[in-house]
Amino acid sequence: MFQKGITMKKFNVAVVGVGVVGTEMLKILRERNFPARDIKVLATRARTEEIGGCQYQVEPTTVESFEDVEIAFFAGTEGAKGASRQFGWPAVEKGTIVIDNGDDYRLDPRVPLVIPEVNAEHLKKHQGFISNPNCSTIQLAMALAPLHRRAGIKRVIVSTYQSVSGTGRAAIEELKAQTKAIGKETKAEVYPHKIAFNLFPEIGSLTDEFPGYYREEVKTIKEMRKILGKPELPVSATCVRVPVFISHAEAVNVQFEEELSAGEARDILRVSPGLKVLDEPRKSLYPVPLEVAGKDDVYIGRIREDHSAPHCLNLWVVGDNIRKGAALNAVQIAEEMIKQGLISGS
């Protein structure tokens, strides 16, 4: 985050896509006083949009849109899906730093997959295109990386409780509409099943590489490995959509190479940047989605030893999937690159 009034370089910025994530990016750029000289808003068609009390002139995206743009954030969801495939590398050709929230290039060896608090050093070898990890992976890696540095992760098993905002506006509306129609027959349109007063273990399409796994589960496995730099890290994931609007929760079972008590883990997490520990079970204090929504930090609670195997802990991790899980992390990547002198502004 930048302080107002300090003389520093400024940047021409573009945000591509104005769905749930794109609009949050625009709000966060203003909230954090991002050193933008100009913010261009790009989408599929021209229009005016009011976002967070500001009027934005939305322009249609073309390769030429990136002329003079120093940093482009691709929101990567809903209507903007595919935009980075079409315009990402051409923008890099024009000298733009592309930060992509989409999943198309996350595993591409040319592309660093970065959470600034976890693996900022991966940015040094960037080739102009940086990927933002998946929402549920970001909060998981945020919670585990500080513990990994201390005790070495041996295996991770995660079960998720993911909100509908990860799917976008249509899903938010579907949950609202089905909820209002309580007791009446309603049709699932966005999702394969009704989501109000229900839940289902399907996020993303089915994959061939991991038989029986949906894509969100495969993303968790592969992105965790890339971010932590452990290509064989044993990870198992079950990803579940729940009738919550904002914030993902995760029940995490983690085994370490070395002994690590719940108390020490708590102490480590308490002083780690971007994390908040809320862990007083006697007072019913642990993070819950409704209270974490809108917050920047990833929250951790229910830190307890699991004696069913050696060196195991259980954790409960909750993060705002639209902020730290998407828009905020993308903006933080740009901030980190500026700090490291990796983006030339003027």
In the complex, what is the shortest distance from the CB of residue 228 to a copy of itself, in angstroms, rounded to a whole number?
A: 14
- What is the separation, in whole angstroms, between the first and last Cα of the chain? 19
Q: Helix or strand or coil: residue 305? A: strand
Regarding 192 and contact with a copy of itself (CB under 8 A), the answer is yes
To the query of whether residue 193 is one of the catalytic residues in this protein, the response is no
To the query of whether residue 248 is one of the catalytic residues in this protein, the response is yes
- Scan for tokens 């309580």, then name that residue: 182
- The structure tokens listed for 51 are 């976002």
Residue 1 or 309 with smaller CB distance to a copy of itself = 309
Integer angstrom CA distances of residue 90 from 66, 330, 335: 9, 20, 23
Q: Quick one: which of 52, 82, 95, 234 contacts a copy of itself (CB under 8 A)? A: 234
Regarding 186 and contact with a copy of itself (CB under 8 A), the answer is no
In the complex, what is the shortest distance from the CB of residue 178 to a copy of itself, in angstroms, rounded to a whole number?
A: 10
d(CA 337, CA 339): 5
Catalytic entry in 135, 148, 239, 312: 135
Closest CA to 243 of 291, 178, 319: 178
Give the pairing of strands 298-306 and 312-319: antiparallel
Which residues make beta-bridge pairs with 337?
none
Maximum C-alpha span of the chain: 59
Closest CA to 197 of 249, 247, 242, 246: 242
Regarding 282 and contact with a copy of itself (CB under 8 A), the answer is yes
Q: DSSP string covering 256-297, please?
A: ESS---HHHHHHHHHTSTTEEE--BGGGTBS--HHHHTT-SS
Of 2-10, 118-126, 127-135, 288-296, the window that binds a copy of itself (rule: CB under 8 A) is 288-296
In the complex, what is the shortest distance from the CB of residue 237 to a copy of itself, in angstroms, rounded to a whole number?
A: 9
Q: Quick one: which of 81, 94, 155, 230 contacts a copy of itself (CB under 8 A)? A: 155
Residue 36 or 164 with smaller CB distance to a copy of itself = 164
Residue 89 or 210 with smaller CB distance to a copy of itself = 210
Query: Which residues here bind a copy of itself, judged by CB under 8 A?
Result: 155-157, 159, 161, 175-176, 179-180, 182, 192-194, 197-202, 206, 210-214, 234-236, 238, 240, 242-245, 249, 251, 253, 262, 281-282, 284, 286, 288-291, 301-309, 312, 314, 316
For the annotated catalytic residues, the residue numbers are 135, 248
